[in-house]
Structure 1
């Protein structure tokens, strides 16, 4: 471990928590900083209107390829899967993580305090774009075969798979959905992944935070935890700056041998050196309410009877890109659906930002403005609902919001030392790209090994998570502020009211659900239309 003994981690989400526990197990002195009072809210959504962290969500999909009302949530790309096409390293990591979730479930079963599974193995139905298997699905099944996992996958049209599903009790989740407008009628092909399900993200983060604290990790929340700046000094051995700690909002300097940036979609603002590799994007979240007295719907969409559903709504493009994913999942109190349309918010970048596009970069909207969902996402959600959740086709939304993610240039995480700082004084652990939450139990083990050993790390993820300014910007990061996904400059707060700003072409309409009277008054209107 050398002389590195103290680590300050900025960010108490999935990445920060997982790394903190792994480093503490290796005898590091670890302090985690976060501006939000997770010690009070226990990561529960809705407890703090200022929280925008993607970790603070009811649940995340685990795709390995009560007396309260239930809500159907429609959210953007947040999944936990082992089905990664040709990316065997992520498939391997997902299987490793699933084993850890199952072990956690067993631990909770024998606990007098923690009860209920953090991972719910309800299965995932991967619905195809047509009545045939898509190219990505064929790659996934081939890799499952290679890894000895093909028996966990059930192709709907395969008689042998259907028989095996019946024998194992999975056949009732091989659901049949008609393709709209087909004559004669056809149904979508689908594959049921019996390894998959979802995790209770907020509950899991709260559990890991308490575990970390019990193991000796120090937490500073609120003003005491809000990172104001990195504290630098001249390095005697390098022309680069050396960071010796961080200063928080309360003016206190916290010295550390290594400062880790694990702040999700706010990482680029804390460390602009990441501006080429990462970009903030807003995923669309809407909810439908199921009344607790509607026992028929409550039962139909229970995890015992209804799987997570992912629909690849469009075929692979000519350049090999897979697009158009839509997701739905559920739990005892909340059913979640996830829609893969992410929007950007380009704003003027600070002077000196290493990488910008027309002097702009995409960062999260403020919390109040993030209550809006672009019409492009709403239209895709409504199409999805009409096919897979027909009871809600004409139902009003219960709530809407944008959940802010951290997209990387190739959809892989960024876990490495920052080369522009001397003596390995700054480390980054971020870039979840909408699929990081499911790795909470194991991500930190790999990240800690990289922090300790650098290029000598034995983690099989090392080469994929390295600092990657040498790669081209893809995964949507190649798009400029002129992209139709950019909603920057369109909404802003004036006083206590959110208003529409500058009108521009090619911009989708924005919509907000009337979640409650107070919020409706704040936003003044239910639907706002922008001119094309």
Structure 2
């Protein structure tokens, strides 16, 4: 059916997908765009992108995503996004104790970088400890058995700050934002029957008000399953943990400009943030899910408090990473600890498509799968390209609506994705408080 440039478009969610889409729509001439976000500020605290930083690395085992990230990095260097992008490089290694799966994954990523003509000139092999220290002299730990490669093409982005910057730009361009539990929290999508079938007529917010729209775009992150139960187990909520070490001004200065340092079998960290003196760290692992036993679908917890902790196993892993790299910080207390919830698909592909049999009235934009933020400057084009495609059909087959798989709420969701190590665990098995579905 299509949507006109003056039709009311509602976006549910003010995270990375929602903001990028809002900005792209107004830049394409759509003049009636509104974003509804349940938090009272942006970046929203429930968004996976409400974070100090995210890795921006171009090498994927899949050339499709490599090409997409190369395009995104070009966009990161444009005036709006450049303040948030730091091309410090990506030091990608395994330790001497790494399992074979970690080494194999690293080698596939390295092969991807070396076969791409744009990336290859930036790749340096790291065959021993001396090579690693040459790439990052600040790493003064034992680095036992470390080897891998250094890719100067990569870096990281200040994610929370980038969200705030795009929020300001979109608002200035005419996007309306309705924030907070009273006006911005969406309780449900409202469907009506028409002569041609069922369609989404708009949304109902928590205050009971109905807001009509010609097109509703659901970009609700890990909460998407509650608003769009038709997804079934196509998209589920998953999390990895995040922790920080607070440094002194001098320690922050000493680590300024270090590359993203990633031990495939342990975890990774970034250069410390100069405003807060926080050094962000993330462990590697299979992540955590919060499965509803009735539906087999994992949902993010309903409150932030339930995710405000660091699992014991992850803390041990991060301390081992520090002992290997920055031993003077190995016993420093971890602060601002949390689980970061995202929308996961079984194959790590995004989903950007209409809900079937709804008269092209509602689109799901989801499935970031823990690797989408690097696409933030171009993510909105995934949707506008679809709107402008023949018949408004998603031109990228892998991002189309999929039949929901079924694992009966059991097994390792997303465990077949090659770059993930370990198996998923239920939040209830490691949580100091019982999560609420």
Normalising TM by the smaller chain, what interval?
Answer: 0.7 to 0.9
CA apart distance, 1:242: 0.9
Which SS does the other structure have where 1:361 is aligned? coil
- Are 2:306 and 2:433, in contact at CA under 8 Å, matched by a contact in 1? no
How far, CA to CA, are the matches of 1:407 and 1:298 in structure 2? 34
Which SS does the other structure have where 2:49 is aligned? coil
CA apart distance, 1:501: 5.5
CA apart distance, 1:397: 1.8
How far, CA to CA, are the matches of 1:490 and 1:191 in structure 2? 34
| Residue 110 of structure 2 is aligned to residue 141 of structure 1 | yes
With 425-434 and 170-179 compared, the bigger mean Cα shift is at 170-179
2:420 alignment counterpart: none
User: How well do the aligned residues superpose, as a CA RMSD in angstroms?
Assistant: 3.2
- Are 2:232 and 2:404, in contact at CA under 8 Å, matched by a contact in 1? no
How far, CA to CA, are the matches of 1:202 and 1:210 in structure 2? 13
2:24 alignment counterpart: 22
Question: Over residues 403-447 of structure 1, what are the superposed CA-to-partner deviations in whole Å (9 max), with x where a residue is unaligned?
Answer: 21111111111111111x421111011111111111110011122
2:288 alignment counterpart: 343
1:259 alignment counterpart: 216
How far, CA to CA, are the matches of 2:424 and 2:373 in structure 1? 28
| Residue 428 of structure 2 is aligned to residue 488 of structure 1 | yes
List aligned pairs for 1:257-336, cutoff 5 A. 257-292=214-249, 295=250, 297-303=251-257, 306-313=258-265, 326-330=267-271, 331-333=273-275, 334-336=278-280
CA apart distance, 1:216: 1.4
| Residue 55 of structure 2 is aligned to residue 61 of structure 1 | yes
Which structure: larger Rg? 1
How far, CA to CA, are the matches of 1:156 and 1:426 in structure 2? 48
CA apart distance, 1:457: 5.8
- Are 1:344 and 1:485, in contact at CA under 8 Å, matched by a contact in 2? yes
Equivalenced residue count is 414
CA apart distance, 1:134: 3.2
1:36 alignment counterpart: 39
Distance 1:263 1:145, change over 3 A: same
Distance 1:348 1:136, change over 3 A: closer
Which SS does the other structure have where 2:263 is aligned? strand
- Are 1:345 and 1:489, in contact at CA under 8 Å, matched by a contact in 2? no
- Are 1:227 and 1:246, in contact at CA under 8 Å, matched by a contact in 2? yes
- Which blocks of at least 5 consecutive residues in structure 1 are unaligned? 45-50, 63-80, 109-116, 181-186, 314-324, 350-355, 492-498, 503-532
- Which blocks of at least 5 consecutive residues in structure 2 are unaligned? 416-422
- Are 2:323 and 2:330, in contact at CA under 8 Å, matched by a contact in 1? yes
How far, CA to CA, are the matches of 1:466 and 1:415 in structure 2? 6
Distance 1:232 1:472, change over 3 A: closer
1:101 alignment counterpart: 76
CA apart distance, 1:230: 1.2
Which SS does the other structure have where 1:139 is aligned? helix
Question: Over residues 299-358 of structure 1, what are the superposed CA-to-partner deviations in whole Å (9 max), with x where a residue is unaligned?
Answer: 33212xx21111111xxxxxxxxxxx6111123233222223321122455xxxxxx22x
CA apart distance, 1:174: 9.8
CA apart distance, 1:147: 2.5
Question: Over residues 483-506 of structure 1, what are the superposed CA-to-partner deviations in whole Å (9 max), with x where a residue is unaligned?
Answer: 871023875xxxxxxx7559xxxx
How far, CA to CA, are the matches of 1:93 and 1:235 in structure 2? 39
